[in-house]
Chains A and B, each alone.
Chain A
Amino acid sequence: GAVVSQHPSRVICKSGTSVKIECRSLDFQATTMFWYRQFPKKSLMLMATSNEGSKATYEQGVEKDKFLINHASLTLSTLTVTSAHPEDSSFYICSAQNLRLAGVYNEQFFGPGTRLTVL
Chain B
Amino acid sequence: DAKTTQPPSMDCAEGRAANLPCNHSTISGNEYVYWYRQIHSQGPQYIIHGLKNNETNEMASLIITEDRKSSTLILPHATLRDTAVYYCIVREYNTDKLIFGTGTRLQVFP
Contact = CB atoms under 8 A, between A and B. Distances in A.
Contacts of A110: 36, 43-46
B98 A46 contact: yes
B42 A97 contact: no
Interface of A: 4, 6, 32, 34, 36, 43-46, 49, 91, 93, 95, 97, 100, 105, 107-113, 115
Contacts of A108: 46, 96, 98
How many B residues touch the partner, as a band?
20 to 34
Given A100-B96, A105-B32, A43 B42 contact: no
B44 A49 contact: no
Interface of B: 32, 34, 36, 38, 41-46, 49, 87, 91, 95-103
25 contacts: A6-B43, A32-B96, A34-B98, A36-B100, A43-B100, A43-B102, A44-B44, A44-B87, A45-B100, A49-B97, A91-B41, A93-B43, A95-B43, A95-B44, A100-B96, A107-B46, A107-B49, A108-B96, A110-B36, A110-B43, A110-B44, A110-B45, A112-B42, A113-B41, A113-B42
